[in-house]
Structure 1
Amino acid sequence: MTDDAVHDLSRDEARRLVVRAQLLDAERPGDVVEVAEQLGSIKIDPTAVIAPSEQTIAWSRIGWAYEPGQLRKAVEQDRLLFEYDGHFHAASLLPALLARMRGRVFRARAAGWMEANARFRADVLARLRAEGPMLAAQIPDTSQVAHGDEGGWYGSNQVPMMLDLLSYLGEVGIVGREGRQRIWDIGERVFAGVPERDYDEAGAELDARRLQAAGLARQKSPWTPIGDAGEPARVEGSDWKWRVDPAALETLHDDPGGRVAILNPYDGMLFDRPRLKELFDFEYILEQFKPKAQRVYGYFAHPILVGDRFVGLLDAALDKKKENLVVTAVHELDLTAPLDPEEREMVDAELRDLAEWVGVPLVFAGER
């Protein structure tokens, strides 16, 4: 392909590229490491209406063969994944990410807070160097200046915020978890032996990996920043300028077909909301932070993908007291073209598989 040539894609091809890049087609990956290598990262979030996002993201790709303990083993024992900035990342990304961490420049507010707490910063690093690994709660708060956390994410203890900021610079890292609490260590140990990368080359490598996970992305998108990675493309009916992963294009027509996938609201497939609307005509609004009276589909509704179409939203929750998975509703999105009996059975089968994976009976309590 010449530099000025552009790939022309039908809308079906564009959607199929995205679905396959996200490992949501009929050919399932073998394990959580394969998932992370393709997607680049797996989002971590404590919200567990059914199960935490890092677990359901893996399950929605792998299916019945996935067990939650596989993720922890890959992170803490095999070191094939690592935790950084609220995600489990593929270990192959560590050199590039570390180069970007070490070249990071904070905005004025964070930089000012770090400068005002220079002694506190030194205390945290010294404690970890001498006694780590440890939990944030085991590190004394010797801060000189409070961070003024209007959002309420950190509370009055300044240690978690200092650790987070130091982690963005590669000066500390996360080596495991005790329950939901992160275990920290000094970056000198965590990143010992990691090959060095040039800052700009590392950025280009990360752009390419983001495009690999996306399959197809808008050329200039704050949601899926891919720089100059890939090759230019046009999509039928869209006036956006796109970039496509050439490796994904090569296998586009080796299509194993589609399947049903139930996606956690924090799934990376859903992150680029403008792309969802442009390619899939799916406008997803998470109602978690809406007042109850304003919710239409439920507190933490999971989108349902059938093939390359978003067909519904699952309103369901794990009832820990009664030990069952309660389905309040499966809201179909296109009432003019409802699911046919075969599609409905496929969705119900995936729901049964979800309940079996969680380890509880499935109970339908609302509309069908």
Structure 2
Amino acid sequence: MITISQLEAKKFLLKKHFLFGKKTLNSKADILSFIKQVGCLQYDPIDVCGKNAELILQSRILNFNKSDLYEMIYQDRVLVDYFDKNLAIFPIEDWPFFARERALYSERGRSRDEIDKVCSEIIETIDQEGPKSSSELEYAHKVDWYWGHTKLSRAALELLYFKGDLGIHSKKGTIKKYDLMSKLYPVEIISKADPFPDLIDHLCWRVLRRIGAVGMLWNKPSDAWLNLRELKAAQRKEVFERLENEEKILKVQVEAIKEPFYILSSDLALLNSVLGLNEKSERVEFLAPLDNFLWDRKLIEAIFGYKYKWEIYTPEVQREFGYYVLPILYRHDLVGRIEMVCVRKEKKLVVKNIWYESSFKPTKGFQTQLGKSLAAFMTFNACESIEIN
């Protein structure tokens, strides 16, 4: 077992996530490489100052343009949006590994009697006429669906998407157009058999993927395991023991933290590179609320001493901070949080509030870097001015 200090743990995680030192990623190829490393980016459609996946990339990719991600998903089609850690974006080459997820939706779902009656007809219509949105199909009456009473056309399209028969052809705002997966992606990828039909083999792959997504994780309940329905305590224990015995993961003890962590064996060189590292990073970054780096918030609290709760679903009167608040990273610490809103009609970025941790005192150096990061964030959101309240 390797023992490291909390500072070394911080630097390891930040380097793993390309959040330490100067930004070196700057192209579509770099975006794809980063997503392959972390497995997936969690998708969320809410857009206050950028969608979650876009916010993740803007903090790593120099001069990131939102259109690059859209093109990679819906034009280049090297990425696909589907379920991983909840709804996510991942490389299309990983599609076969999620056969279990698709099979699950083939067997379940609300209002299946009504929906199943129209699915074949919808597939035939799309095959003959091309991509369709729910408003372009004539199934207007409503059925009981996951999000409440929903038009039959929407429920049927979504079920076919969940099952893997349809994929998202394009998006415009909240409107999605669906097409046959066989028309969107190479048949040799989407028709490939499940590489891990055995449950434990599959869970080993998923756990390795999640450890790689965060950088280090512990063998305990965690939000980082979301959507791994079959990973109960007994299965998790078996998986960790097997992965450690096969030398695919390494145990790491962080000083002053009782529970050990695990990293990918392939990250040992990266870990060794931060041992005794005196290098400082002057970057200020605003992190996405569902950033892979933040997936295990108890881990972040243990290592960084920083508590973060996404208060978007917290009633306003109960919020400690705000509706859509982003953590602020400076050097190797999470030093505060910021609430920003993009007023698109006015092309203006409004900084509603900034809260600093009680242990942090902003310096002139920090203020300079903060100003640069706000200017970059303004450009990222296609704004032309900043208003600071």
Normalised TM-score (structure 2):
0.79
- Runs of 4 or more off by more than 6 Å in structure 1? none
1:222, distance to aligned residue in structure 2 (A):
4.1
Q: 1:238 aligns with which of 249, 253, 257?
A: 257
Moved more, 30-39 or 286-295: 286-295
Cα distance in 1 for residues equivalent to 2:351 and 2:205: 42
Report the counterpart of residue 165 of structure 1 in structure 2. Answer: 159
Equivalences for residues 139-158 of structure 1 within 5 A: 139-141=137-139, 146-147=143-144, 149=146, 153=147, 155-158=149-152
Distance 2:377 2:115 in 1: 47
Deviations 1:33-58 (A, max 9, x none): 22322222223333222122232221
Residues 1:276 and 1:317: Cα distance change in structure 2 (over 3 Å): same
TM alignment of 1:306-325, pairs within 5 A: 306-325=330-349
Residue matched to 2:56: 57
Whether the aligned pair in 2 keeps the contact of 1:262 and 1:303 (CA below 8 Å) is yes
RMSD, aligned α-carbons: 2.8
Residue 302 of structure 1 deviates from its aligned partner by 1.1
Identify the match of residue 74 of structure 2 among 54, 76, 88: 76
Counterpart among 267, 270, 273 of residue 248 in structure 1: 267
Q: Partner of 2:284 in structure 1?
A: 260
Per the alignment, residue 120 of structure 2 pairs with 122
**AA aligned opposite 1:87:** A
Q: How big is the shift at 1:60?
A: 1.1
Q: Does the residue aligned with 2:3 lie in a helix, a strand or coil?
A: strand
> How far apart, in 1, do the equivalents of 2:349 and 2:102 lie?
45
Higher helix share: 2
Q: Which amino acid aligns with 1:30?
A: N
- Contact 1:14-1:216 at 8 Å conserved across structures: no
Counterpart pick for 1:12 among 7, 19, 23: 7
The code of the aligned residue for 1:146 comes to V
TM-score by length of 1: 0.84
Letter paired with 2:293? M
Contact in 1 for aligned 2:48/2:342 (Cα 8 Å): yes
Q: Determine if contact 1:276/1:282 at 8 Å carries over to the other structure.
A: yes
Specify the alignment match of 2:209 in structure 1. 209
Tell me, which stretches of 5 or more residues in structure 1 are unaligned? 1-5
Give the match for residue 94 of structure 1: 95
Q: Does 1:186 align with 2:180?
A: yes
Change (3 A) 1:292 1:173: same
Which one is further off, 214-223 or 288-297? 288-297
Give 1:23 shift. Answer: 2.4
What is the correspondence of 1:219-298 to structure 2 with a 5 Å cutoff?
219-225=219-225, 227-228=239-240, 229=243, 230-254=249-273, 257-258=280-281, 259-298=283-322
Unaligned runs of 5+ in 2: 226-235, 244-248
Aligned to 1:3: none
Query: Which residue number in structure 1 is paired with residue 25 of structure 2?
Result: 29
SS of 1:61 mapped into structure 2? coil
Identity of aligned residues (%): 20
Alignment partners' CA distance in 2, 1:213 and 1:20: 13
Are the structure 2 counterparts of residues 309 and 290 from structure 1 closer, same or farther at C-alpha, using a change threshold of 3 Å? Answer: same
Residues 179-234 of structure 1: per-residue CA shift (max 9 Å, x gap): 43222123444452113323344543333222212110122334223843522332
Distance 1:19-1:157 versus aligned 2 partners, 3 A rule: same
Amino acid of the residue matched to residue 254 of structure 1?
Answer: S
- Aligned counterparts of 1:223 and 1:314: Cα–Cα separation in 2: 23
Decide whether the 8 Å contact of 2:131 with 2:169 is kept in 1: yes
**Greater Cα shift, 200-209 or 166-175:** 200-209
Structure-2 separation of matches of 1:247 and 1:17: 13
In 2, the alpha carbon distance for the partners of 1:19 and 1:13 equals 10
Q: Secondary structure at the match of 1:29?
A: coil
Q: How many residues are matched?
A: 352
Provide the secondary structure at the position in 1 that maps to 2:224. coil
CA distance 1:344–1:71, change in 2 (3 Å): same
Residue in structure 2 matched with residue 340 of structure 1 by the alignment: 363
Whole-angstrom distance in 2 between the partners of 1:253 and 1:241: 17
| Structure 1 residue 41 corresponds to structure 2 residue 60 | no
Residue type of the alignment partner of 2:386: V
Conservation of the 8 A alpha-carbon contact between 1:232 and 1:244: yes
Q: Is the 8 A contact 1:21 1:38 kept in 2?
A: no
d(CA) in 2 for partners of 1:328, 1:277:
25
Matches of 2:130 and 2:315, distance apart in 1: 42
Pick which of 288-297 and 342-351 moved more. 288-297
CA distance in 1 between counterparts of 2:149 and 2:55 reads 29
| Shift of residue 170, structure 1, vs aligned partner | 2.0
